[in-house]
Structure 1
Amino acid sequence: MNITSTIRGLLRGNGRRDVVRDYLDQSVSLADLERRQREVDSGRFRGRSYPFY
Structure 2
Amino acid sequence: MFNLFKSLVSGKAFPRIADLERAYLEGSASLVDLERRQREIDQGLFRRSSFDF
Q: Report the TM-score when normalising by structure 1.
A: 0.70
**SS class of match (1:10):** coil
Percent of aligned pairs with the same amino acid: 47
Corresponding letter in the other structure for 1:9: G
**SS class of match (2:10):** helix
**SS class of match (2:12):** helix
1:1-53 deviation line (CA, Å, top 9, x unaligned): xxx8xx52333x31000000000000000000000000000010013162xx7
Number of positions where the alignment pairs a residue of Structure 1 with one of Structure 2? 46
| 1:8 and 2:10 are equivalent in the alignment | yes
Which stretches in structure 1 are left out of the alignment for 5+ residues? none
Which stretches in structure 2 are left out of the alignment for 5+ residues? 1-5
Moved over 3 A (4+): none
Q: Report the TM-score when normalising by structure 2.
A: 0.70
